[in-house]
Amino acid sequence: MFGKSNNAVYTVPLVPDPGSTIMAIVAGTRLGPYAIIAPLGAGGMGEIWRAKDTRLDREVAIKVLPAGFAANDLFRQRFEREAKAISQLNHPNICTLYDVGQVESGDALQVTGLTPSKSQIHYIVMELLEGESLSERLKRGPLPVHEVLRCGREIASALDAAHRRGIIHRDLKPGNIILTKSGAKLLDFGLARTMADSKAPLDGVTGLPTEAEPLTAQGTILGTFQYMSPEQLEGLEADARTDIFAFGAVLYEMATGRRAFQGKSKTSLIAAIVSSQPAPISSVAPMTPPALDHLIRKCLEKDPDDRWQSAHDVSSQLQWISEAGTQAGVATPVTIRRKTRERIAWSFAALLFTLLAAVSWIHFGSRSEEVTPIRSYLHPPEGTKFDFSESSIAGLAVSPDGKKIAFTASDESDHSHVYVRFLDKLEARKLTGTQDANQPFWSPDSRFIAFFANGKLKKVDISGAPPLTLCDAPIGRSGAWNKEGIILFSPSTLEPIHQVRDSGGKSVPVTKLDVSAGETTHRWAHFLPDSKHFLYMAGTHTLGAQSEANAIYAGTLDSIEDRKLILHARSNAVYASSHLIYVRDNNLVAQRFDPDKLETTGDPFTLAEGVSYSLGMFRGTFSASTTGILAYASGVSDEKNQIMWFNRQGKELVNVGEPGRWDYVCLSPDDLRAAVSSFDPNKGASDIWLIDLERNVESKFTFGELDAAYPVWSPDGSKLLYAAYGKDPTGMKSKFSLKPTDGNAQPESIYETKNLAYTDDWSPDGRYVIFSESTAGGEMDLYYIDLEHAEKPVPLLKPDFNYEYGWFSPDGRWVAFTSNEAGSYQLYVMSFPDGKSKWQVSRGGVSGALSWRPGEILFKGSEGKIMSVRVENHGDSIRLSNPEVLFINPRIQDFDLSHDGRRIIATVLPETAKAGSVTLVTNWNK
């Protein structure tokens, strides 16, 4: 549509409406504040010009509606519809709309000396793109497979964003896709309609989109027909699945270099689209993954009900194909070119496992009593790490059939995913749609995995389908799944065990807390062989780790009241091979157990020493199957960290206070005090402390709260706002409390919710508080409260994606926040409170920590990078620099920037902190 390729301007032929007059615009013409520089060609029914925005001193692209078109109500409405459609979309793979306007042609052309007319010039101002159209690129042949998958994901993501806003593109084709260095960009929404409008049918073929290129020698223009769905050609209702058909045709052409449907005439082309199937991709491009061929064929189904039903599904499938490698059917020569470090590690472990098993069988035959345990190490996939810290609640789960192991690992951006390792395969595979997942557990048939993410319990088919949400789980704790389709889990840290069907629905409790005994939590459910009885741990946050309230019980689905004490322990427990396995004093032990009598016999014996154990979470990191497979993590989960001052170059200046389990840190407005949250492992929850930075003295600030965290200073430093978590007779709740910092006054509650919520920031004028809260769909969203008018919370953005970590600018007119709307978590800045202006700031990802001081935003990027963005205020607008790396320190967990911008205070992991390792034991029970 417009842009540059290798610094050369390219154009798309303009196809005017018969009888229209092209506006005589030349260099120097001004359209309002925009000075025309040069033509860039045409797109749809408009002329595209390169122009200069004289207000913001930047180059833009302007689409101008020619005078002949402007006089036609139909074309003028279509032009206005394009502007409205683009204005509703803010996505990194959709061309950004800057402005719309109209001027009298006489005013616009007075610079040129032409005779003014009395008509109006309508125009749209958009970002100027550097790149080439996909149609131009395809003239050089098909794209490599990895580019097809990458560009396909980006285009599908753009379509998904449009469809979520109720907008159907209806003219998707290679000419409307620009390939830039930052990714593919979707353009030209001139035919877009909202889903509410889409029921109005096209007027036969006369309502077809504008065509860009001729197909026949006679010049018949059929370029867009190749991408139209059967229902469009029949004049029927268009919906999101119409775009999916066009997208399939575009993908086919990207992979093969050929159009999916061809014909020598308009009639034969339409007949091909309606009744025939394109040649298999494998017959044209043999190296294409079969899974991609299947995806495209499903996009191109004639009946909309047989296609993928959403662009999100298509994007997820493309992501899975890209990540799954040979398990998605990638052709061997493509796979061979991948990095081999992880494969070598897995291959060695698998080969050793196979050889030892084979030798054992050959040598000992059927004499199973002589089989001995075999130990080997498992390693995380390349570019990831196991993380057994308190915050990540890393997961490890052996499948019931003993053939697979699921685990969570974090990537360079510190976001965790669920991976599945088939023990007879060479690689672990990341499951699509499991970002920020924790605590995976298996279905009894070893086909599905359940996990927690974003306040929801979800399940995913390990074959690659997108996850399904089952129910709410604000702070979920891992569960169990029986063969009758019942899942047990704990929806929060302060709840009894709940049950829910594996098809989803509302969960109901199956145990009851004994409050009189001090119990505050039931968790770590595990089904016994009869699928009716189950093990679980009852624990206390308030009486300490050695309290007798910490115990393992056997419950039953038949009664919420009935239970039997098995033993006293502050640990999860699993039953496998006639033994109960649990953690005692950081050792993994096993003890004989009769699941029918619900009794232990004999003394426990040690299976492994130094097993990763989290006192605060009441759990050890281990899993076992009835087939004799045991997996456990080694290392210490409860290492203390240090609060520390750094200069801007990352040099350590001085320690603050003593080492502890410090988490969130926030500086007072005068930089003389710091408010921090600290995890108490005996209590199993957090408290807030104040640190006098001049005297280096710590003092506890919150008392009586079961769990308190995320402190935020008032603008004058006289009060602290923080989030407190507890429960009432109706269940879990989050509460925002306000408390003076200079006395023992009781906290004042300003907001309560049944959802998980975090306090983020307080506006400089003291009027607004911004916070993050989970939504009904499981995402996080940003809200603000007007303290002056005691109004209900107002959403800052529509909850289409995850939005969190809001932070006000020093003048209170802007808000910085993180969002995953670009596919990964990035930093954004938006005008407050109107939200009229919004920009993506980062490109390489963010991991939460954020601070905005005069002239600068600091945030934590991937791989421990501390990033800086310079900020210039220009009245109603701001100018942001590209992010620059100040320094790299992967041990920094959270930080705040001093108000003079010269120092950084941070919570820092010790240098000895390790991710831990996973040991796999075969025949542990022999």
pLDDT(411) > 50: yes
pLDDT(85) > 90: no
The rounded distance, in Å, linking the Cα atoms of 7 and 516 is 76
Higher-scoring residue by pLDDT: 104, 565: 565
The rounded distance, in Å, linking the Cα atoms of 261 and 252 is 10
Average pLDDT, integer, range 6-29:
40
Sheet containing 641-647: order of strands: 652-660, 641-647, 903-908, 892-897
Which residue in 459, 523, 472 sits closest to 497, CA to CA? 523
The rounded distance, in Å, linking the Cα atoms of 845 and 839 is 15
The rounded distance, in Å, linking the Cα atoms of 797 and 782 is 7
> Is the Cα dihedral 615, 711, 723, 488 positive or negative?
negative
Average pLDDT, integer, range 281-289:
75
**pLDDT value at position 33?**
83
> Is the Cα dihedral 463, 442, 437, 313 positive or negative?
positive
Helix (H, G, I), strand (E, B) or coil at 319: helix
pLDDT, tens digit, 9 for 90 and up, residues 183-222: 898 887 655 555 544 443 333 333 333 333 433 333 333 3
Average pLDDT, integer, range 389-399:
70
Alpha helices in 276-426 (DSSP H): 281-284, 290-299, 311-324, 332-336, 341-364
pLDDT over 90, % of the chain = 36
**pLDDT value at position 117?**
45
Question: Within 13 Å and on the Cβ side, how many CA atoms surround 603?
Answer: 2
Give the best-scoring range by mean pLDDT among 260-274, 319-333, 434-448. Answer: 434-448
Give the best-scoring range by mean pLDDT among 102-106, 607-611, 898-902. Answer: 898-902
Higher-scoring residue by pLDDT: 537, 289: 537
Q: From the centroid of its chain, how far is CA 919?
A: 30
The rounded distance, in Å, linking the Cα atoms of 738 and 720 is 6
Does 811 qualify as catalytic in the annotation?
no
Sheet containing 34-43: order of strands: 30-31, 34-43, 46-53, 58-65, 120-127, 97-104
pLDDT(693) > 90: yes
**pLDDT value at position 92?**
84
Instruction: Specify whether the CB–CB gap between 690 and 741 falls below 8 A.
Output: yes
List 726's β-bridge partners, or say none. 733
The rounded distance, in Å, linking the Cα atoms of 50 and 27 is 9
Helix (H, G, I), strand (E, B) or coil at 709: strand
pLDDT(332) > 80: no
Average pLDDT, integer, range 906-921:
73
Q: Enter the tokens of residue 726.
A: 């507890």
**pLDDT value at position 93?**
87
The rounded distance, in Å, linking the Cα atoms of 81 and 887 is 47
**pLDDT value at position 72?**
64
Percent helix, strand and coil across the chain, each rounded to 5? 20, 40, 45
pLDDT(166) > 70: yes
Catalytic residue, candidates 53, 160, 171, 243: 171
**pLDDT value at position 155?**
93
**pLDDT value at position 10?**
27
Q: From the centroid of its chain, how far is CA 899?
A: 31
Instruction: Specify whether the CB–CB gap between 460 and 453 falls below 8 A.
Output: no
Average pLDDT, integer, range 415-425:
87
CA 834-838-841 angle, 5° bins: 145
Average pLDDT, integer, range 723-736:
75
The rounded distance, in Å, linking the Cα atoms of 301 and 273 is 10
Give the best-scoring range by mean pLDDT among 10-19, 341-350, 651-660. Answer: 651-660
pLDDT band of residue 362 (cuts 50, 70, 90) is: very low
pTM score: 0.49
Burial pattern 413-443, b for ≥16 Cβ within 10 A else e, equals bbbbbbbbbbbebbbbbbbbbbbbbbbbbbb
- Helix pair angle (145-164, 240-256), 10° resolution: 170
Helix (H, G, I), strand (E, B) or coil at 256: helix
**pLDDT value at position 271?**
82
pLDDT(74) > 70: no
pLDDT band of residue 13 (cuts 50, 70, 90) is: very low
**pLDDT value at position 646?**
96
Average pLDDT, integer, range 847-858:
89
Higher-scoring residue by pLDDT: 695, 282: 695
pLDDT band of residue 88 (cuts 50, 70, 90) is: confident
pLDDT, tens digit, 9 for 90 and up, residues 792-831: 899 998 767 778 889 999 999 999 999 878 767 789 999 9
Helix (H, G, I), strand (E, B) or coil at 227: helix
Instruction: Specify whether the CB–CB gap between 432 and 464 falls below 8 A.
Output: yes
> Is the Cα dihedral 123, 124, 129, 135 positive or negative?
negative
Q: Enter the tokens of residue 43.
A: 């797109």
The rounded distance, in Å, linking the Cα atoms of 35 and 89 is 26
From residue 518, alpha-carbon distances to 544, 572, 614, 726 in Å are 10, 19, 20, 15
Least confident of 147-156, 451-460, 677-686: 677-686
**pLDDT value at position 227?**
87
Least confident of 452-456, 482-486, 737-741, 742-746: 742-746
**pLDDT value at position 511?**
95
pLDDT(532) > 90: yes
**pLDDT value at position 23?**
43
Q: What is the DSSP string of 181-219?
A: TTEEEE---TT-EETTTTTSPP-GGGGPPPP-SB-STT-
CA 171-175-180 angle, 5° bins: 120
**pLDDT value at position 77?**
67
From residue 81, alpha-carbon distances to 87, 110, 124, 614 in Å are 10, 29, 11, 57
Q: Give the number of other CB atoms < 10 A from CB of residue 198.
A: 18
Instruction: Specify whether the CB–CB gap between 628 and 402 falls below 8 A.
Output: yes
Higher-scoring residue by pLDDT: 353, 453: 453
pLDDT, tens digit, 9 for 90 and up, residues 292-319: 888 999 999 998 888 988 898 898 888 8
| Mean of all residue pLDDT scores within the chain | 80
**pLDDT value at position 45?**
56
